[in-house]
Copies of this chain bind each other. A is one copy, B any other.
Amino acid sequence: MTQTVRILLIGLGNLGRRFCDLLAQKGPEVEARYGLRLVLVGAADSRGSAYDPAGLDPARISALKQAGGTVADLPGVGSADRTAADLVGTAEADVLCEASPVNLQRGAEPGLTHVRTALQRGLHVVTPNKGPLVLAYRELHDLAAQHGAQLRFDGTVAGGLPALYLGQRDLRGATVTRIEAVPNLCTGYVLELLGDGLSWEEAKARARAEGVLEADPSFDLEGWDAAAKLVILVNAVMGIPARLEEVDRTGITGLSGADVVAAREAGRVYKLVATAERRPDSRADLRVAPTPLPADHFLARLGRKQMGVIYHTDIYGTIMAAIDEPTPMPSAATMLRDILDIYVPGGYPVAFDRRGTENAELVS
């Protein structure tokens, strides 16, 4: 009983390309373990798209993108005229993976339109793109419910760490009173370099060379990225309809290297911390600010390529989680996690059973 899942992938940058690698690498295993055949039927980048109901070759697309090409050039299936929006609006598919670049400044477009269109067509949507969720969290959930579609966005917060699943699902029944998070890599990395004595220019250059910092780093360094992630966390985990404008936001650019070094000498570690505190009126105080954490604070201990989150709860104590993510692969893999969450919702024993039968020996 194999079920075919037809996937549209929009955006073939850092995450989209790696998701193609994942489909190539993990496809057979996912089919064997979960009975799901993941077929990439459409893919789009900024120059055009490719579409083939019989399935595109994800490994070939990844290679093409690494070589600087476009799927528009794929013989027989590529087109420079059919845009990503065209593909989302017309292609036969089951799931949209929306991995186009985050763009909060321009109304989260084109991602927001892609997500809306797909949900209206009844496609499930899986996206690591923060923009649409930050700007239209509730609208998109309502739209999904109206059209019987699922919306998953685990990759929007803290890369490959399942921070949202942990908070939404495993803390069901609890009241989350406080969230503290270092939800991205970039600022922690720069702060650590500053603490090591590098100048701002040196630190930015190093982070950029490592691929941790975008060409225009202000989105990260001014705290917008952390604020956007905090808004999603608060909506999803606290159930509070928070908005970006409510975040009291301070970036790290106001810190000097000397500040960071002095804090370190005093046994403290600067991190750009995003905090949400539930108020008695069922709203939350939201704050993003560089914070000199005591050295034994969970978030102070995060390494250079690590992100983390802390949930303070009424009945589950305090739960802390972190990820070490040396490459963007875990962030890309959240799309696979989300797809499996949609199609194999209660499927843990299934996973065991299918593999278990390969073993002659039983536990009992």
Which A residues are within 8 Å of any B CB, using their own CB? 22, 25-26, 29-30, 34, 135-142, 144-145, 150-151, 160-162, 165-166, 168-170, 172-174, 231, 235-236, 239-243, 282, 296, 298, 301, 315-327, 329-330, 333, 336-337, 340-342, 344-349, 351-353, 355-356, 358-359, 361-364
Contact = CB atoms under 8 A, between A and B. Distances in A.
Given A25-B315, A136-B363, A173-B336, 10 more contacts: A22-B315, A26-B173, A160-B319, A235-B363, A242-B363, A317-B323, A318-B324, A319-B321, A321-B321, A321-B322
Contacts of A240: 359
Nearest to A174: B333
B141 A352 contact: yes
Copies in the complex: 2
Closest 7 CB pairs of A and B: A162-B170, A136-B364, A139-B364, A168-B348, A318-B324, A239-B355, A137-B363
Contacts of A231: 363
A137 B336 CA distance: 27
Nearest to A301: B301
Contact of A144 (B26, B150, B349): B349
A129 to B, nearest CB: 15
Contacts of A324: 317-320
Contact of A364 (B135, B150, B333, B361): B135
Nearest to A283: B359
Contacts of A145: 349, 353
Nearest to A344: B172
